[in-house]
Amino acid sequence: MAEKEFSTYKGKPLVRCGDELYYGSMADRFVIRMQIKTKKKVGDSEIADKVVIQLLCTDPDLSPRKQLVKSSEKSGLYVALDIADVWLERALKS
């Protein structure tokens, strides 16, 4: 069975399902979840306004509360992605 190709950002998988985005590989120890909380209208398009970023441990034996390592809210998806990349890189190096 062929592996599904995902979009990537800075070489890591970026998967979107509705207003949630996951950044990183679930095979790694950590992954980022971004939740779009609000959107704003720009011309004919809607863009993400408030985005919650969460660094999660992928250990399935941990409770969901203990999986959450770090959380923050940012304005705009690009700012959130940049923060997410830094958090994920640091977490994977430790």
The predicted-structure confidence for 66-87, as pLDDT tens digits, reads as follows 999 999 999 999 999 999 999 9
pTM for the structure as a whole: 0.87
Provide the pLDDT for residue 94.
84
> Where do the H-state alpha helices sit in 1-94?
64-67, 77-93
Answer yes or no: is pLDDT of 1 > 90: no
Query: Do 93 and 85 touch, CB atoms closer than 8 A?
Result: no
The predicted-structure confidence for 5-62, as pLDDT tens digits, reads as follows 779 999 999 999 999 999 999 999 999 999 999 999 999 999 999 999 999 999 999 9
Provide the pLDDT for residue 3.
54
